[in-house]
């Protein structure tokens, strides 16, 4: 997943929802809302993965430090 995928999905979703509102197409509105939610979830997953990676790197550094001190 690219860094911008969540943002792109949210932007597409906003456009679809706006189009649905203008045209009165409730299905298109719901589709846009769903796409925005997908983008939000992708962003959240990406942030969680970045945080997990940071913690893995910190743990690896800590374990390496402990071995040097032993």
Q: How far apart, in whole angstroms, are the C-alpha atoms of residue 67 and residue 43? A: 36
Average pLDDT over the chain, rounded to an integer: 90
Angle, in degrees to the nearest 10, between helices 26-69 and 5-23: 170
Q: What is the pLDDT of residue 29?
A: 98
Instruction: Flag whether pLDDT at 1 surpasses 60.
Output: no
Q: Model confidence over 50-64: pLDDT tens digits?
A: 999 999 999 888 776
Within 1-70, strands assigned E span none
Indicate the pLDDT class of residue 9, thresholds 50, 70 and 90: very high
Domain boundaries, the chain: 5-69
């Amino acid at each position: 997943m690219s860094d911008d995928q969540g943002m792109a999905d949210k932007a597409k979703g906003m456009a679809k929802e706006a189009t649905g509102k203008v045209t009165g197409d409730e299905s298109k509105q719901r589709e846009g809302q769903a796409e925005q939610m997908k983008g939000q979830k992708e962003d959240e997953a990406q942030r969680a993965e970045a945080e997990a990676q940071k913690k893995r790197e910190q743990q690896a550094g800590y374990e390496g430090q402990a071995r040097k001190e032993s």
